[in-house]
Chains A and B, each alone.
Chain A
């Protein structure tokens, strides 16, 4: 049965990615403000404002600690927002996907094009925040460049999870649940703002299964000019989320649109 088949993508997904890029270029100013200026203001305000009141966290200044978390969280938010609200607009409200499927593009190509695009948004936010962190003297050494593929991989994972919920959504309101029940708790449990060790042990154990935790575990040492202690595990977890959620998103989207 086609619904459960493995993805059968073609290079047509590039045309879908390019469509979204062209729209983004037209609206880039608003998009940059929303996705990038917002986390940077928070980084500066909390990092220096709150950081001045705190002793060092895990041996570094709080703004340094927070910078790595901010990179990961804004990559997550950029990919999630794109895979939820923007993809839903194109799929359901504007019926852009219906138009594309009438051409020589399959639904699998569209879903993968959206996935690639949302991950690109995560990468773009990663680039911008690393650049700012470097200007503030918070990026130490060339290892910071390896953060870029991490934001891309994390972007793929969060975009794929977002597309699963996109396939299930009846309206925009549905996404509020996802943000409130999934994204926000994950932001506080994954070592973005404070170490996971501060959590009660049972919660810290759950945190060990969250994708954001593994993104943070990779990015924080890389920003400090060091190599992560267990990169293979972190990459494997993120890749598993990305692959598993992509497959779920494909099956659910096929069920929704090809019935």
Chain B
């Protein structure tokens, strides 16, 4: 069996700003055709890593290969086969929906005749068939994000980078984006996304890395990360006296207890004993659920607030 082709690889990547390493020795290997996630709190270095991979800033150390081309030396050529959905919308406000797509295609050297023939398919993909001649200012946040995704596909790329693709969207809009991204992976494209939404990573990603302070602190599939790091069940307890209960009873019954604000998180192989104990404590409210990526993330990166 041959090894899968690698869409993106980085080794020993370093980027410093004012002596402060924002990316600090990062190694990545993303096989072609997978959905790869980069998770991390704000300021972890996710966006800087994406900019490095696209050749938009030079690394202070390490090497990058994107679709077999050296970055940043050969970045313009590599980006011919790449689509990007940035974190901040930068659709062209002077243009309509269709003009945004047609003008963007020119940035890849695609002729107007060719891009006009691709237009209906892109509008359909973005659910914007009825908005062809609408101005950007009249679109909702979800429509703008879908148009940005369609714009990232004008050159039929092999790999699509998405920087927090669903931040700021309502639930319906998020689900539509997720469905489209799964469609792209099914169609053979490689997707690399950054997110701090754990449900998004859990749903979409085949493989992911958890980044903090510019370093990879863990990696694997979402399931494998949960199994390796966290007990399978969580009982969340909150209300007056939750902390007192945790000290007296919770710590004895759970494998591990964490506190965040007024909530106590009890990690355990089986939550039944905890729930039996809590059945008599009517002042406390509780929620039993399977452990998820958010629990892993918080265990790995800590509970303190990041700005």
Contact = CB atoms under 8 A, between A and B. Distances in A.
- Contact size class for A? 20 to 34
Given A96-B92, A99-B104, A104 B109 contact: yes
B159 to A, nearest CB: 12
Contacts of B82: 102
Interface in A241-259: 258-259
Contacts of B77: 104
Interface of B: 17, 54, 56-58, 72, 75-77, 79-80, 82, 84, 86, 88, 90-95, 99, 103-104, 106-109, 151-152, 155
Contacts of B99: 22
A136 interface: no
B91 A99 contact: yes
A170 interface: no
B94 A26 contact: yes
A22 B84 CA distance: 23
Interface string A16-27: 101100110011
Contact of A103 (B72, B79, B93): B79
23 contacts: A2-B72, A12-B107, A15-B107, A15-B109, A19-B92, A22-B95, A22-B99, A23-B95, A27-B94, A94-B93, A95-B90, A98-B86, A99-B90, A99-B91, A99-B92, A102-B79, A102-B82, A102-B86, A103-B79, A103-B108, A104-B76, A104-B77, A258-B56
Contact of A18 (B54, B75, B106): B106
B92 A94 contact: yes
A100 interface: yes
Contact of A106 (B76, B88, B152): B76
A170 to B, nearest CB: 19
User: Which 3 A-B residue pairs are closest in the complex by CB-CB distance?
Assistant: A103-B107, A102-B84, A99-B90
Given A102-B84, A105-B76, A12 B90 contact: no
Interface in A1-60: 2, 10, 12, 15-16, 18-19, 22-23, 26-27
A49 to B, nearest CB: 38
A102 B54 contact: yes
A77 B41 CA distance: 47
Contacts of B56: 101-102, 258
User: Which of B57, B84, B95, B103: most chain A CB closer than 10 A?
Assistant: B103
